[in-house]
Structure formats: C-alpha cells, structure tokens
Structure 1
Amino acid sequence: MRAIGLAVDVYKKVFTRPVISPPQPVRHTGFDLDLTIESVRAEAADVVSLVLTRPGGAVLPAWRPGSHIDVFLESGRQRQYSLCGDPRDRHRYRIAVRRIEDGDGGSSEMHTLRSGDRVRIRGPRNAFTFVETAPSYLFVAAGIGITPILPMVRAAGARGRLVYLGRSRDTMPFLDELPATCEIRPDDEVGTSDIPALLATAAPGAAVYVCGPPPVIDLARRTLFALNPTASLHTELFSARAVTDGREFDMVLARSGETVRVAATETALDALRRVQPDVVFSCRQGFCGTCKTRVLGGEIDHRDRLLTPDERPDHLLTCVSRSAGGVLTLDL
C-alpha cells in the first residue's frame, strides 16, 4: 500500500503540474543554401508567400512543423521566416511575409523578390517544437502567426482544433487551406476575442500552441494554468516585446569613444541604431545571435535564450539584454 501511495504522489507531481515549453536551444549554424524563388503569390493584404527550390530540383534538408529558415537579403539584413508548406515535400520550402510599413525595411525588401531571384538561406532550425504525442491540441494563431501553426494543424489531424484570429478576413493568409473545423474570428466580424475563454476550451492534458503578438502570448501565459493545470503551453512571438522594466544606462563604443544613452523603454539595439544604422540584427527576441556583441566592461543583465555560460561574462545580445547597473563598454 505504501508503494501505491508513493506512486500516486509521483504521478501527481509529474503529470498534474503546469508545463510551459522551456526555451529551446537554437542552433545558429547549419545548412547554408543558395535557393531560387519558384513562385511568389499574394495571400492576403500585404502578405505574400514565396516558394523556394534548389537549383536543379535537388532534395532540401528535412524539417518538422514549427521550423524556420534564416533568409539573407542583398542589403545585409538577416530575417527568420517560418516554414508553412508541407514537410513531406523535400523539394520546396514555402514561407510567408507580411509587409510592415513602419518596420526596419526587411519585410519590404522581401516583398521586392520575384520568381527566378536567388536568395541565400540557413536552416531549417526549430525553436517551436511540435509535440507529436499529445492526446489533443488547441492552436490559437493571430495574424501572420498562422505560418508555423499551419503545418502543425495538418500533423495533428483530428486531434487538433484551430482558432484563427485577425483584424479582418482580407488580412488573414491561407484561409483557403484551413480545415473545415477551423474557427475563424476576425475582429471586424466578432469583436476582440476573449483569449482566456478560448483557452478554457482546451481539453485536460492538451498541448496548447499560441503564436502571435506579445499581448496574446502574455495573456495565455498568465491565464492558461489557472484554467487547465494539466495542459502544456507552447508559444512563439512574431514581434519583439516592448521594454517595460528597463532602466536608463549608458553604452560606450570603445572603438570610437562615443557614448550612447539607452532609454528605459528602448533596447540597446534601438539605441545603437541611432548612431550606427547598419548595425546587424535579426530576430529582436534574443534567440538568433545575429546581434551578439563583445562587452569590454560593465555588468550585464542577460535576457536572451542563446548565450552559453562561457559567453555570458563578456558578450550580450543587444536586442534584449541591458546593463545590470552602470555603464557598458562595447567592442563597437
């Protein structure tokens, strides 16, 4: 009887505690390939899909739902885009890009690409892993957040339920590819969706996948486990979080001697771009490593998902990390 009691205690500890998918280690090197754009198609207002192939039709590296590729643009920009095609098609990658008019130009540059153009990519990589063994799935996709979710919905089959949020139908890509059971909720038709109410519909033990802007992700993290403590939560952002808990600090650029002030509500990267517009960056979320910079002095408040313990004493990712107090001196 005592053994049975211990077994029950172990079951409760392991299977009834809330689970949030931990930050996944992201490989920042991998397959580097020169691909050709086979086709470009308008999918929604300001959204195009691009199908990429290998010259000669050679087989592409395999990928799983949730994977993305890095695209290197002629301007020197590097951007990540989720693969939203069919993982079984080893000859084509498909990505989709929404043009952000007030962004940094990366999405606008992607929208200038045409059939026959060549692009260099790296990947595939995966920081948004699809758990294949879940008893059921609830997918909540907001806007362009449908892109990594779409292959997952196909893989989940009858075990999955998709709720697709957006401003209006004309802004929501891939409506013609969704399963008949998908619940489409444009704001201009049904109003702003009640995220906690949607999450409350997940079955016990479900894998809940949420992809979209920070307010949707943050609300899911705050509310899911109070509603369903046996669920697991898996999230991916499609834009950088605003800085809400920062303090002002100065950065000294060692090579020029210039001092740059970082405001409490901006990132070190945004401050750097005022004086060095061509400084390299990509994900703006602390996982790709493009903006990794050597630190020559000062204490670092690390907020990334990438750096190893050996790198943390003298490197930071400028897109998310900050000073822990005092001046940071950067090798720039």
Structure 2
Amino acid sequence: MSTLVGVGAAYRRLARYSGRRRPPAQAVDRTSPLVVTVVRPEADEVVSLRLARPEGEPLPSWRPGAHLDLTLPSGLVRQYSLCGDPGDLSHYRVAVRRIGEASGEVHTLKPGTKVNVRGPRNAFPFVAAESYVFIAGGIGITPILPMVRAADTRGAGWRLVYTGRSRESMPFVEELSDLPDDRVWLRPDTEYGIPASGAELLEGVPDGASVYCCGPTPMITGVRVDLELTGARAVYFERFSTPPIVGGRPYTVVLRRSGHTLAVPADRSTLDVVREVLPDVAFSCRQGFCGTCAVATPDGGSVRICVDRGPAVLEL
C-alpha cells in the first residue's frame, strides 16, 4: 500500500508540470423528448401512460423506486414513479390518479402527444435484503410494484399488503393476480369497514425484514409509529403529499426584488405564503427532492421554499 501511495504522489507531481489540465466536467442534460404511445385506464380516476422515444431507441436504465420529472404540454412539471419493467427499455410506464391541475392534464393526453421527461432519478432506492414487507396505499402501488417483482425474481422472502378506498380505486389489481395468492393481501377499506391501522398493516412482519411503504401520509405515519412493535430491521417510505409541519415557529421572509416582507405562520410553508403574492413561483414535488422550488439568496446560496423553514431574504 505504501508503494502505491508513493507512486500516486509522484504522478501528481509530474502532472503539475506537464501543462495538461483536466477538462472541466460537462453538465449532463438528461431531458428527453418522448411521445405518449398508450393511455390505459387502470382504476377509477387512474390512467397509465407508456412513454417512448419517437424513433424507438432504448431509454436510459432505471431501478425500482425511480421516478421521472414529466413536463406536460402546459409547462407544468410533476414527478411520477416508474411502475413498469426495468428490464424493458423500449418504453417507460407511469400511472397517475386525477387529483389536481397537473394530473387532470395527464388524463387528457392522447397517444401521439409529445412530452419532455427528465431522469430517471431515484429518491426511494430499493436495497438488497433477505426479506421484505411491501405496504402500498392506493396510487402508492406505483413504486412498490417493480420492487415486488424484483424481490420475487431474486428469490427473497416478501409479502405485499395493498390497501385503498375500494377495490375499484386500486390500480394494477389484475396485474397482481399472477403473483402467489399467499403473498398478496388486498385490503380495500370498503370491504373491512375502516382504514387499516399501522399495526394491522404490519401484522406478521418477520424479524429482520425491510419494510417499504408508499401512500397517504396517515398510513405512513401509522406504519412508522407501530413499527417498534415488530422485529423489522428498517422502514423506507415515500410520500405522495406534503409532510405535515410539526412544532413549527413563525418567521419572516423578505422578497428582495418585489419588495414584499411576508410573515410565515408556524403551520405553513414559505412556498404557501410566497404564492399568495407571487402565484407563478415554480414548484413541483413539495417534498424538497426535485429542486424546482429552490430560490437564490443574496449570498449566493439557495432556499427550498417548500421545505426549508426560517427567516430568509429571497431573490424574488
């Protein structure tokens, strides 16, 4: 090892005088123009899209848990989990429930519509383990579905608990029918009377299992609270809505360019208050990972106004 260190040091000294410099790193643009090839109803108020390159070339690879930044024809940008087969790079598949302006636009798209996507990116990585329990709520099945397939292919122990308001509202139920019945538990609220508690969703979790959970915030909260009652090794989760603000304090932000000074209450985000005076300010995921809401500060830094809380001067 000491010989290798000496050789490395000598090489660096020679490189210093060689007149050669490492070229600057080039930014990689991972934005791709794609076309909608298939639009398919998957459940009440849920459609799936197949997205492919116009000339049919293979798409960049991805792993379970990855998502795309989808730029719609209107210019709105939203994140959607990939829910197809990572081994089939002829197209990407996403599924979208109609709940707002952007998702409503997705539901109007037709085959042949051109869109731009950025990614894939992964903020919900699937980590190797001996056994898994997957918990999905409604449209939260989208990142979970490729994980289930991957665990099954690897021969790992796994179990899927899939809940939703009703069987008709739960996408990909038919697609799950080719998996072993004893490993998949469908639990629609309408068939059980009430939404499931965290303890119910976690019932029978094997010791040392990794728990992957995606769905509404109350469901995720219940799972996280009741996890200590099990012998699970860890829980990994992804929300589809803004996390609640707990224990916040009021503060003030200054919008330097527009001249506004805004009071942000303890239970609201900077983004919420800024949009009352600047409704066109950009945002997307509302959870801080996509970076769309980052706003520059006079000192050269930036603030993610959807999640970063505290007094600030913003270049808005």
TM-score class, shorter:
0.7 to 0.9
C-alpha distance in 2 between matches for 1:31 and 1:256: 33
- Counterparts in 2 of 1:1-332, with a 5 A limit? 31-100=30-99, 103=100, 105-132=101-128, 134-157=129-152, 159-178=157-176, 179-181=179-181, 182-190=184-192, 191-228=194-231, 230-296=232-298, 314-323=301-310, 327-332=311-316
5+ residue gaps in structure 1? 1-27, 298-310
C-alpha distance in 2 between matches for 1:117 and 1:106: 15
CA deviations over 1:162-201 (Å, ceiling 9, x no partner): 0101001111101111124211101011132132233241
C-alpha distance in 2 between matches for 1:45 and 1:202: 30
The root-mean-square deviation of aligned C-alpha atoms, in Å, is 1.8
Query: TM-score when scaled to structure 1?
Result: 0.81
Deviation for aligned residue 1:98 = 0.7
Deviation for aligned residue 1:250 = 2.2
C-alpha distance in 1 between matches for 2:166 and 2:229: 30
Return the index of the structure with the highest Cα Rg. 2
C-alpha distance in 2 between matches for 1:43 and 1:155: 22
SS in 2 for 1:71: strand
Aligned pair in 2 of structure 1 residues 195, 30: CA closer, same or farther (>3 Å)? farther
Deviation for aligned residue 1:259 = 2.0
Deviation for aligned residue 1:321 = 1.1
C-alpha distance in 1 between matches for 2:208 and 2:85: 27
Query: TM-score when scaled to structure 2?
Result: 0.85
User: Which residue identity is paired with 2:164?
Assistant: G
C-alpha distance in 2 between matches for 1:246 and 1:29: 38
Aligned pair in 2 of structure 1 residues 111, 87: CA closer, same or farther (>3 Å)? same
Deviation for aligned residue 1:30 = 5.2
Displacement over 6 Å in runs of 4+: none
C-alpha distance in 2 between matches for 1:108 and 1:128: 25
5+ residue gaps in structure 2? 1-26
Does the CA-based 8 Å contact 1:43-1:174 persist in structure 2?
Answer: yes
C-alpha distance in 1 between matches for 2:205 and 2:274: 43
Aligned pair in 2 of structure 1 residues 193, 288: CA closer, same or farther (>3 Å)? same
CA deviations over 1:297-318 (Å, ceiling 9, x no partner): 8xxxxxxxxxxxxx8xx32100
In the other structure, the counterpart of 1:308 is: none
Deviation for aligned residue 1:225 = 3.1
Identity %: 51
Does the CA-based 8 Å contact 1:68-1:125 persist in structure 2?
Answer: yes
C-alpha distance in 2 between matches for 1:272 and 1:34: 32
Aligned pair in 2 of structure 1 residues 285, 39: CA closer, same or farther (>3 Å)? same
CA deviations over 1:61-84 (Å, ceiling 9, x no partner): 011111111111233321110000
CA deviations over 1:88-107 (Å, ceiling 9, x no partner): 1110100001111xx4x111
User: Which residue identity is paired with 1:164?
Assistant: Y
SS in 2 for 1:56: coil
C-alpha distance in 2 between matches for 1:287 and 1:29: 18
C-alpha distance in 1 between matches for 2:173 and 2:122: 24
Does the CA-based 8 Å contact 1:77-1:281 persist in structure 2?
Answer: no
C-alpha distance in 2 between matches for 1:204 and 1:30: 43
Deviation for aligned residue 1:262 = 1.7
Higher relative contact order, structure no. (Cα contacts within 8 Å, ≥ 6 residues apart): 1
